[in-house]
Amino acid sequence: MLAITCPGQGSQTPGFLAPWLELPGVSDRLHWLSAVAGMDLEAHGTTSDEETIKDTAVAQPLIVASGLLSLLALFEHPADGFRVVGAGAGHSVGEITAAAAAGVISAEQAMVLVRERGRSMATAATTTPTGMSAVLGGDPDEVASVLESHGLTPANVNGAGQVVAAGTLEQLAALADNPPAKTRVMPLKVAGAFHTEHMAPAVDDLARLSRAVSVHDARVPLVSNVDGEVIHSGREALRRIVSQVRNPVRWDLCMETMRDLGVTGIIEIPPAGTLTGLAKRGLKGVEVLALKSPEDLDAAHRMVREHGSAREASQPTWRLVTAPVKGTVAITASTPGTAVPAGDVVARISSLRDTREVLADHAGTVVEWLVEDGDPVSPGQPLLRLHPEGSIA
């Protein structure tokens, strides 16, 4: 199974977009995305210096635009990708890239959302001097305890021995002076404490904006930063993109889900490298590729052929209720012909970690269960077939 991963803020470097603009049509497409974003993304991706592209309001639109452009080079038509990609995931702002790539929102909607996300987060970061530091190594429980003692939030739990702490500059200074045993603390070049309560004003801004956004259900299963769950509902994907601005990123759980799904190959789109490094350490045996420039496209196309799973792209995923996590299923709506309202709990899945409710994303009638009560299930596995609104014909 092939997964596409989309990086987040901090992955950008000066000039990283320049090689992509040599491909036919890419410059014109970027010009269009720049018009939507209201900034010169071509300049920011080619000639702007490190300090300029570190600005949250610039970095986030630049990262999303670069990812969308590279996907058009990897898959000439979106339907080509829908047929072979088994899962998509984005780290932080990369979730907007992933949502657009999966057909939940359009490229233009993605650029408006990320423009406002970047502006709102940059504004929220000016209220109180805050920042982030990477904590590398150490015992996970001890790291969590020390962060809590300093009043810091584990804003990114990335797996592979990496946690990003976020909070006030004073709290981060205290962490640097008294770090957890056997760790290295590295201050990050970011403008604020992202994915914490310091970003609450940005969530309010995005929530209002999102109410006017029309969505479609995902054409490719999306693995959510919130908890590693597999998401199909477009409305739920958008809700999580908004709320995630002040919630921790659980990339460790995303990698666990990709392992459970049976992912054998991962392509990270530009600006690539960070997530590939995490996958090399956290997903042993999975082939990974950082798609950094057009020179990597031949290798990427080979991976698509070898790891992609051909499936019917037009199959309406909204007719199926799928497992969001790995565990044992307990069925609650079992009788064929039963009407199920949208949002109803149809099953619960229990694992060693917790129990999750499985909701019907759309109203419909139970046609058949594809699993039995007590069966072990995997993330993304179809559980229930629903006939949309009304009774079975």
Quick: pLDDT tens for 82-105.
889 999 999 999 999 999 999 999
* Confidence tier at 190 by pLDDT (50, 70, 90): confident
Domain identity same for 273 and 287: yes
Cα–Cα distances in angstroms (integers) from residue 139 to residues 65, 125, 146, 179, 228, in the given order: 37, 30, 11, 12, 22
* Any domain includes 381: yes
Cβ(155)–Cβ(195) below 8 Å: yes
* Any domain includes 164: yes
Average pLDDT, the chain: 91
Per the document, the length of the chain is 393
For residues 8-27, one letter each, b for 16 or more C-beta atoms within 10 angstroms of the residue's C-beta and e for the rest, the string is bbbbbebebbebbbeeeebe
Residue showing tokens 């770090």: 179
Query: 280, 307, 334 — which closes off a domain?
Result: 307
> Which residues are CB-neighbours of 42 under 8 A, at least 6 positions away?
17, 21, 27, 30, 31, 34
* Any domain includes 211: yes
Domain identity same for 178 and 218: no
- Give the per-residue pLDDT at 316: 46
* Any domain includes 166: yes
Report the percent of the chain where pLDDT is more than 90: 77
Cβ(361)–Cβ(344) below 8 Å: no
Least confident of 169-178, 354-363, 381-390: 381-390
Cα dihedral 211, 217, 222, 227 sign: positive
* Any domain includes 312: no
- Give the per-residue pLDDT at 146: 95
Domain identity same for 201 and 339: no
The arithmetic mean of pLDDT across residues 51-60, rounded, is 94
Domain identity same for 205 and 175: no
Q: Which helix (H) or strand (E) holds 45?
A: helix 41-46
CATH assignment of the domain containing 286? 3.40.366.10
Cα dihedral 137, 139, 141, 144 sign: negative
- Give the per-residue pLDDT at 97: 98
Q: Distance (Å, rounded) from C-alpha 359 to C-alpha 372?
A: 17
- Give the per-residue pLDDT at 317: 45
Is omega for the bond preceding 336 within 30 degrees of 0, making it cis? no
Quick: pLDDT tens for 110-156.
999 999 999 999 999 998 899 999 999 999 999 999 999 999 999 99
Domain identity same for 117 and 256: yes
Q: Distance (Å, rounded) from C-alpha 32 to C-alpha 34?
A: 5
Please provide the distance, in angstroms rounded to a whole number, between the alpha carbons at the two ends of the chain. Answer: 35
Cβ(163)–Cβ(143) below 8 Å: yes
Domain identity same for 153 and 102: no
Domain count, the chain: 3
Q: Which helix (H) or strand (E) holds 65?
A: helix 56-74
CATH assignment of the domain containing 162? 3.30.70.250
Asked if the model's pLDDT at residue 391 lies above 80, the reply is no
- Give the per-residue pLDDT at 161: 87
The three-class DSSP label of residue 244 is helix
Backbone angles phi, psi at 228, to 5 degrees: 80, 5
Domain identity same for 108 and 233: yes
Domain identity same for 96 and 214: yes
Domain identity same for 208 and 274: yes
Asked if the model's pLDDT at residue 189 lies above 90, the reply is no
CATH assignment of the domain containing 348? 2.40.50.100
Cβ(241)–Cβ(113) below 8 Å: yes
* Any domain includes 192: no
* Any domain includes 393: no
Q: Distance (Å, rounded) from C-alpha 363 to C-alpha 35?
A: 39
Given strand 162-168, what is the order of strands in its sheet? 153-159, 162-168, 130-137, 183-187
Residue showing tokens 């996970």: 140
Q: Distance (Å, rounded) from C-alpha 86 to C-alpha 222?
A: 9
Q: Write out the two tokens for 294.
A: 């057009």
Query: 187, 210, 237 — which closes off a domain?
Result: 187
Q: How many CB atoms lie within 10 A of CB 238?
A: 23
Domain identity same for 160 and 203: no
* Confidence tier at 393 by pLDDT (50, 70, 90): very low
Q: Distance (Å, rounded) from C-alpha 110 to C-alpha 211?
A: 14
Quick: pLDDT tens for 154-167.
999 998 789 999 99
* Confidence tier at 388 by pLDDT (50, 70, 90): confident
- Give the per-residue pLDDT at 278: 94
Domain identity same for 221 and 268: yes
Residue showing tokens 């290798």: 299
Cβ(86)–Cβ(379) below 8 Å: no
Backbone angles phi, psi at 159, to 5 degrees: 75, 180
* Any domain includes 181: yes
Q: Write out the two tokens for 27.
A: 């410059």
- Give the per-residue pLDDT at 318: 52
Cβ(85)–Cβ(28) below 8 Å: no
Quick: pLDDT tens for 254-296.
999 999 999 999 999 999 999 999 999 999 999 999 999 999 9
What is the residue range of 11's domain? Answer: 2-124+197-307
Q: Which residues are catalytic?
A: 92, 195
Domain identity same for 322 and 358: yes
Query: 285, 307, 329 — which closes off a domain?
Result: 307
